[in-house]
Structure 1
Amino acid sequence: MMDHPACSVRAALAALRTHAPTRCHQYTQAMARTDVARHFAERHAGVPATDRRGAEDVAIYSGVDSGVDAASLPVLLGLYGDEARVRGWLPGLPRRVRPDRLQGWLAMGPPPVWTALPPCRQEIWPGPVDLGRLPILTATPRDAGPYVTMGLVHARDPEGGEDALSVHRMLVIGRDRLTVWMVPGRRLRALFDAAAARGDRLPVTVNIGAPPAAVVASALGTAFLPPGVGKLTAAGALAGQPIALAPALTQPAVALAASEIVLEGHFDGTVADEAVDGRGPVSGISLPEFLGYDGRTKPDVPVLTVRAVTSRRDACYQAVIGPGREQSVILGIAGAVSVGLSLAADEPELATLVRDLHFAAAGGGMLLLAVRIAKTSPDDDGRLAPLARRIFARHPFVKLVVFTDDDIDIANEEELLWAVVTRSNLRTDCTSFADFANLPMDPSQGAAWLDARGAGDGRAGRSVIDATTPFRLKTETARSFPSPPSSCWED
């Protein structure tokens, strides 16, 4: 069960080495942990970290300075940097996201199972916790400090029993302490606030090198999952088999059994500024973010106290560098499913128009959404604007929606642009809506930018491009060499 690429990072690496050995690179030279991200960016990272086109290769660094008197674990970067590669590891993932079929697919997902001999406990790290033993990277000299970037946090509601499963940026502020930035309103923050209000601790595990299916499932919108389906069950649907769990050793918490490294700890309501040695508040920079720009530090961030560290034998430390394709792929795959689920639940009639959804890597897997439409009558021409508004209302990170006909491969960004330039006139086919909140992480939605552009109301808004053929003119855009659309389901 744990030897499938969907369920184990090392199984995914083994599959890559077998089927595409030239895409996996091993670096053995001595390297400071402050230099690894730059080295990867210069050689392998794509847009927006660099102007390199296409998918990212995988790199393993085995000579990273440990910073302590102990052998350093190898650092793994780039694993999720190729959407086709990741999709190949997830046998349950539909090739096309059809809203009318997603709920049934997820409902059939196998729930997680418990294992008595979890690989993540093959080694129990002795002595007092010292996070310095992990090769935690600092991406740029501007960063607030070293950040854990691929730690999958699992927490459980002690009252309702529901799980929180999400990835967060975590700044090391002490030998056994991390700040964990949580977006307000999300599940983990709600559990943290509830525990703090009760005066209780919130026990958690941080799973580094977690199963790929669980990492992708963690990015699903919890609010859009069907009743009774949690993220771990969704991970099982993606993997086509259950995700293995194990109880933590020192906390009443749950670990993902195939993870490379597990940090066990708790929140106790303590908060701290996102800073090390005064660097955070002075510079205001946290670390590079997925859109390609430096992020901003936050005040009063929840503090996690780590009580134990366990790992697999010969474990690797997985990380991301910030800007690059990895986050875009993870967020994009999960985001398309989330949009499909929300449309199926909120607008089932409009959802029947949708034949596929895809987030472009160019928008960080969140801002640019392509929607493949199959019209059946002239009335469908007027149904796209309401459909876009519903998407914007339920998915606040979406900035631009592009509708295309059903003969367009929306995962092919070149073909998507071809549809835009030959099947739309932006004077008549681009509509903007001003009544949506700005996104702070997008520079073009900042107040100064909008003022420079003459947006007197200070609102960036959202836009939709209709690159579909008017129904009565559909013969006008018949392709000279048509190809049948691919699908994992029979239509």
Structure 2
Amino acid sequence: MMEHPACSVRAALADLRERAPTRCHEYAGTMARTEIAGHFAERHAGTPATGRAGAEDVALYSGVEGAALPVLLGLYGDGARVRGWLPGLPRRVRPDDARRRLAGGPDPVWTGAAPCRQEVWAGPVDLSRLPVLTATPRDAGPYVTMGLIHARDPEGGPEGGEDALSVHRMLVTGRDRLTVWMLPGRRLRALYDAATARGNRLPVTVGIGAPPAAVVASALGTAFLPAGTGKLKAAGALAGRPIALAPALTQPAVALAASEIVLEGYFDGTVADEAVPGRDRPSGVSLPEFLGYDGRTKPDVPVMTVTAVTTRRDALYQAVIGPGREQSVVLGIAGALSVGLSLAAEEPALAALVCDLHFPAAGGGMLLLAVGIAKTGPEDDGRLEPLARHVFARHPFVKLIVFADEEIDIANEEDLLWAVVTRSNLRTDCASFADAPNMPMDPSQGAAWLEARGAGDGRAGRSFIDATTPFRLKAETVRSFPWPPSSRWKD
């Protein structure tokens, strides 16, 4: 049976090759693993990795030095094509519609003929066989950047309780070892802490080249999912079909069956500094992060021991270079859905104002949020501040919100800026709040930056811009030419 692009990286790549062959590039020449990310950044990567505007092309590197598998970069670098692969994703993110769609997704299904087990590595695990990239000379070492971890509580009952499904930066520190940075408060960290507190191992799988629908669903806020909807069910909703699962071979764990590569393993409470033993990296850099700047290494990071590697035939090793457009697209699609879900569940009256949500790539898919507003009366003019406060409180990474009228295409950054310039005066239409945590990965929220700017309280704060027309003045901001255009000019 032919695979759907929502459920298979290779099907998504095949779809792109058929629909837009000029957007796919293959590089067969021999290239070191330390050169590929820079090559891709120079030729294809967009904002925030470079100053290049627009969507990213896809590149396949088949001549990786010392590795048999090709490296795939750029697959998620175009929001339009990713949305095209997800039939369950609404064209506009309206809160009630987002909640209804995700709640109605199919449960995952088990398969006995898992593509991810077509080949099983023999002998001791040796992760150096994978073409794991080192993005810059400053990096701590080679990082797995598109590894989707799946875990469930082994003591959580027949269904294992609420699953963890998330992408993490994973530094290869040995033949069968990776350090895995986990953000506190996230589901994987909670499962890890619970298992190690009991003196148990936490078995996991890592899908590299996992189904695109699962990758997007993994970035959803777990706290906002409708009751009874886990991330795998949400992935099924986005895909319009169930996500296939298979049991791991060496661990009591679950693998996403269509993944290109699966690492099986466990956490046992062992921790290590985020560094490769014997390599001197005094800079403290981890790897390029999603906002376009170098990240910092962490101490005492959980260590995963890998017990098996399985792959599809002719497997693709998928990666991202860090701050390319790919992470911004994935985080942005999931982030818009998460904001919609939280509004629908917690603030239905405010949710009714919202006709669309979009995270532009300029904010890494997390810091900058554009919100389409459909006002129905003059009282709606005063409801944007409580709407902004809800978003800032429930989605702490959001730094700046731009509210725009419903006829503005908020996914078009030029149209959004046009609204800001012609429908707002920042003297009266911009508000800031100081009661928000700082985000260390954003340089402008660092202590030294705030001190240089004279912020004595050390808080970066959050802001919103009201680029909507006051309700009683709607007639003053009618475009000279109707948009969207009328159908009479269609071919």
Question: What TM-score, normalized to structure 2?
Answer: 0.97
Change (3 A) 1:451 1:2: farther
Match for residue 299 of structure 1?
A: 299
Match for residue 184 of structure 1?
A: 184
Match for residue 111 of structure 1?
A: 107
Which whole-Å CA distance do the structure 1 matches of 2:143 and 2:305 have between them? 15
Checking the alignment, whether the CA contact within 8 Å between 2:99 and 2:340 is kept in structure 1 is no
Match for residue 489 of structure 1?
A: none
RMSD (Å), alpha carbons: 1.2
Which whole-Å CA distance do the structure 2 matches of 1:166 and 1:100 have between them? 25
Which whole-Å CA distance do the structure 2 matches of 1:326 and 1:316 have between them? 17
Aligned AA for 2:208? I
Kindly report which structure 2 residues correspond to 1:97-176, keeping only aligned pairs within 5 A, or say none: 97-160=93-156, 161-176=161-176
Aligned AA for 1:75? V
Q: Between 43-52 and 13-22, report the one with greater CA deviation.
A: 43-52
Match for residue 20 of structure 1?
A: 20
Which whole-Å CA distance do the structure 2 matches of 1:26 and 1:20 have between them? 14
TM-superposed deviation, 1:108: 1.2
Checking the alignment, whether the CA contact within 8 Å between 1:274 and 1:280 is kept in structure 2 is no
Which whole-Å CA distance do the structure 2 matches of 1:162 and 1:389 have between them? 29
Does residue 212 (structure 1) correspond to residue 212 (structure 2)? The answer is: yes
Checking the alignment, whether the CA contact within 8 Å between 1:109 and 1:237 is kept in structure 2 is yes
Aligned AA for 1:341? L
Does residue 412 (structure 1) correspond to residue 415 (structure 2)? The answer is: no
Unaligned runs of 5+ in 2: 487-491
**1:41-90 CA distance string (max 9 Å, x none):** 11100112111110000000000012xxxx52000000000000100100
Aligned AA for 1:388? A
Question: What TM-score, normalized to structure 1?
Answer: 0.97
Which whole-Å CA distance do the structure 1 matches of 2:455 and 2:147 have between them? 39
Which whole-Å CA distance do the structure 2 matches of 1:382 and 1:284 have between them? 47
Which whole-Å CA distance do the structure 2 matches of 1:482 and 1:221 have between them? 37
Checking the alignment, whether the CA contact within 8 Å between 1:424 and 1:465 is kept in structure 2 is yes
Count of residue pairs the alignment pairs up: 482
Secondary structure of the corresponding residue to residue 282 of structure 2? helix
Which whole-Å CA distance do the structure 2 matches of 1:42 and 1:342 have between them? 39
Checking the alignment, whether the CA contact within 8 Å between 1:139 and 1:321 is kept in structure 2 is yes
Checking the alignment, whether the CA contact within 8 Å between 1:143 and 1:280 is kept in structure 2 is no
TM-superposed deviation, 1:102: 1.9
Which whole-Å CA distance do the structure 1 matches of 2:367 and 2:417 have between them? 16
Checking the alignment, whether the CA contact within 8 Å between 1:27 and 1:61 is kept in structure 2 is yes
Secondary structure of the corresponding residue to residue 204 of structure 2? strand
Aligned AA for 2:69? L
Secondary structure of the corresponding residue to residue 236 of structure 1? helix
Match for residue 274 of structure 1?
A: 274
**1:398-422 CA distance string (max 9 Å, x none):** 0000000000000000000000000
Identical positions, percent: 83
TM-superposed deviation, 1:475: 0.6
Secondary structure of the corresponding residue to residue 371 of structure 1? strand
Unaligned runs of 5+ in 1: 487-491
**1:339-396 CA distance string (max 9 Å, x none):** 0000111111111000000001000000000000001111110000010000000001
Secondary structure of the corresponding residue to residue 403 of structure 2? strand
Does residue 244 (structure 1) correspond to residue 240 (structure 2)? The answer is: no
Aligned AA for 1:445? Q
Aligned AA for 1:112? P
Change (3 A) 1:6 1:290: same
Aligned AA for 1:273? D
Aligned AA for 1:174? G
TM-superposed deviation, 1:282: 2.0
Which whole-Å CA distance do the structure 2 matches of 1:45 and 1:2 have between them? 31
Which whole-Å CA distance do the structure 2 matches of 1:75 and 1:174 have between them? 21
Match for residue 353 of structure 1?
A: 353
Change (3 A) 1:456 1:280: farther
TM-superposed deviation, 1:289: 0.4
Match for residue 330 of structure 1?
A: 330
TM-superposed deviation, 1:158: 2.4
After the TM superposition, which segments of 4 or more aligned residues of structure 1 sit over 6 Å from their partners?
none
Change (3 A) 1:377 1:115: same
Checking the alignment, whether the CA contact within 8 Å between 1:435 and 1:461 is kept in structure 2 is yes
Checking the alignment, whether the CA contact within 8 Å between 1:280 and 1:297 is kept in structure 2 is no
Match for residue 29 of structure 1?
A: 29
Q: 1:87 aligns with which of 47, 67, 83?
A: 83
Aligned AA for 1:23? R
Match for residue 370 of structure 1?
A: 370
Aligned AA for 1:395? H
Which whole-Å CA distance do the structure 2 matches of 1:85 and 1:280 have between them? 41
Checking the alignment, whether the CA contact within 8 Å between 1:280 and 1:286 is kept in structure 2 is no
Checking the alignment, whether the CA contact within 8 Å between 2:247 and 2:253 is kept in structure 1 is yes
Which whole-Å CA distance do the structure 2 matches of 1:278 and 1:474 have between them? 66
Secondary structure of the corresponding residue to residue 168 of structure 2? strand
Checking the alignment, whether the CA contact within 8 Å between 1:210 and 1:259 is kept in structure 2 is yes
Checking the alignment, whether the CA contact within 8 Å between 1:2 and 1:258 is kept in structure 2 is no
Change (3 A) 1:485 1:260: farther
Checking the alignment, whether the CA contact within 8 Å between 2:48 and 2:361 is kept in structure 1 is no
Which whole-Å CA distance do the structure 2 matches of 1:47 and 1:21 have between them? 23
